[in-house]
Amino acid sequence: MLQARGAKVRGTAFFVFMLLVAGVSRGCGGSTPPCAVPQDDDPCTLDQCESEIATHSYLGDGHPCFRGNLQGVCQLGICLIPCNDNTDCVTGLPCNVAQCTGGACAIVQTDKVGPFDDGNPCTKEGCVDGELVSWPLPDGTTPAAYCAECLEGACRTCKVPTDCGKSTSCLKWACVQGQCAALYNDDGYPSLEHDIPGDCQKWVCNGKGGTRLTADIDDPPKTAETCMTWTCVAWTPVLVPQNDGEVCLMEVGVKGQCNAMGACVQCMTDDDCPAMERCLLGACTTCHDGVMNNGETGTDCGANCGWCGGATCLADSECASGHCAFMAGESGAKVCCDAACDGDCQECDNDGACKPVPLGEPDIDTCNSPAQACAGTTCKTKKGYPCLSSSDCVFGSCVNHTCL
């Protein structure tokens, strides 16, 4: 779902839109950048400084991502933000424009400034390479009713400070003997006008009346999920599991516990379940009572009990028997089996029963070279291949050093 970012409800690895007024510098956590390029403007990468070098590692498919006020999810290396129309794609950030195309927001850099104002009527805000900058208007310009004339990028005369422009957290106007004077807050002073809570970043003054963006590890997003938490890694909000084993609510009135993956589950081990039940896939289920119940498709198999014998599988944990073995034939497929079935010349049939490989047939698991085939539980030489004695051959006949 598309989600607007509001008071501390968003954040993750990407509000990596950096919007800076001229003269800005950024680092991995302070005003002196240890990395040449500490942030790559990609909300699906974790931007860090390692040994004075900027690194950008992909957060992975499914990780939440953000562009300004918008939330999406990382898919195939991009931040996919769903939308119905262009109004769903308003980021609230300057220097970008977004359109709803094919159900997703396409966001690109633009020279449009957006909702940012430096407070000086004698400057024009604009964007260069995605960064917010200001230029002084020509001397003699009359920019507004309260400002009669611009001179060197500021109102020339004034009676009161408001004749000079709009004060901001970084720029305070004063009227001194009829002349406008700009008072700048120190570099690093908080600038709250542009802040988006919960993005691991903060706007601060640059000491010249403008602003710059810096990392803020004390500004992680908030989440209502009990078993997950946000943390700031340099510039990047990252969603991580927390509180392994802590009590959580699965639904109203039903308690569970957090697992290592950040999910709220009914159980972690069989000891968390009532007698005669076991814990499978985080849920308590009756998987060894000798009865086909609770959605099982076979006796003590299927549903949460693991797959029944003969079902295709990739791992032992998927099977009710705990055994995923190679099936009969040469396909290389595996099925849930009643035994490990990993001995020489053993294979599992379509019903999940472990049986010997037929005489003269290969075992895909243990007896599979071009010259070999099974003879009981032994791998021997096939017809037409060299031999030293009859005991070497599948069918017990070695003539002129060749198996018959």
- Measured in Å, how far apart are the chain's first and last C-alpha atoms? 69
Q: How many domains does the chain have?
A: 2
Residues 106 and 20 both lie in one domain: yes
Domain boundary (238, 253, 273) is at: 238
Enclosing domain of residue 176: 135-184
Predicted pLDDT of residue 341:
92
What does residue 88 show for φ and ψ, rounded to 5 degrees? -80, -5
* Residues whose CB falls within 8 Å of the CB of residue 389, separated by 6 or more in sequence, listed in order: 398
Residues 83 and 50 both lie in one domain: yes
The Cα–Cα gap between 302 and 319 comes to 9
Predicted pLDDT of residue 21:
26
The Cα–Cα gap between 147 and 156 comes to 8
Residues 231 and 84 both lie in one domain: yes
Question: Is 225 inside any structural domain?
Answer: yes
Q: Which one, of 388, 328, 391, lies nearest residue 364 by Cα?
A: 328
The Cα–Cα gap between 239 and 220 comes to 10
Residues 161 and 179 both lie in one domain: yes
Question: Is 199 inside any structural domain?
Answer: yes
Residues 91 and 225 both lie in one domain: yes
Residues 27 and 98 both lie in one domain: yes
Contact call for residues 342 and 316 (beta carbons, < 8 A): no
Question: Is 400 inside any structural domain?
Answer: no
Count the Cβ atoms, other than its own, within 10 Å of residue 95: 25
Residues 15 and 98 both lie in one domain: yes
Tokens 């498709």 belong to residue: 297
Question: Is 340 inside any structural domain?
Answer: no
What does residue 272 show for φ and ψ, rounded to 5 degrees? -80, -5
Question: Is 373 inside any structural domain?
Answer: no
Residues 157 and 27 both lie in one domain: no
What are 248's two structure tokens? Answer: 């959580």
Question: Is 144 inside any structural domain?
Answer: yes
Residues 11 and 107 both lie in one domain: yes
The beta strands (E) that lie in 28-122 are given as: 45-50, 53-58, 64-67, 70-75, 78-80, 96-101, 104-109
What are 260's two structure tokens? Answer: 């290592």
Residues 84 and 196 both lie in one domain: yes
> In whole angstroms, how far apart are CA 331 and each of 64, 224, 253, 368?
40, 48, 49, 12
Predicted pLDDT of residue 35:
60
Identity at 403, one-letter amino acid code: C
Residues 141 and 50 both lie in one domain: no
Q: What is the 3-state secondary structure (H, E, C) of 119-188?
A: CCCCEEEEEECCEEEEEECCCCCCCECCECCEECCEECCCCCHHHCCCCCCCEEEEEECCEEEEEECCCC
Question: Is 17 inside any structural domain?
Answer: yes
Which pLDDT tens digits describe the chain residue by residue (404 residues)? 333 333 222 222 222 222 222 233 333 334 444 565 567 778 899 887 777 788 888 999 999 888 888 889 999 999 999 999 999 998 877 788 888 999 999 988 777 776 677 889 998 888 887 777 888 999 999 988 888 899 988 998 999 999 999 888 899 999 999 999 989 999 999 987 777 888 888 889 989 888 888 888 898 988 777 888 888 887 888 888 877 788 888 876 788 899 888 889 988 888 888 877 778 778 887 787 788 887 788 888 887 788 999 999 999 988 989 899 998 877 788 999 999 998 889 999 989 999 999 999 998 888 989 999 999 889 999 999 999 999 999 999 999 999 99
What are 72's two structure tokens? Answer: 């999406």
The Cα–Cα gap between 196 and 360 comes to 72
Contact call for residues 49 and 28 (beta carbons, < 8 A): yes
Count the Cβ atoms, other than its own, within 10 Å of residue 128: 12
The Cα–Cα gap between 194 and 93 comes to 9
Question: Is 130 inside any structural domain?
Answer: no
What does residue 87 show for φ and ψ, rounded to 5 degrees? -65, -20
Residues 39 and 108 both lie in one domain: yes
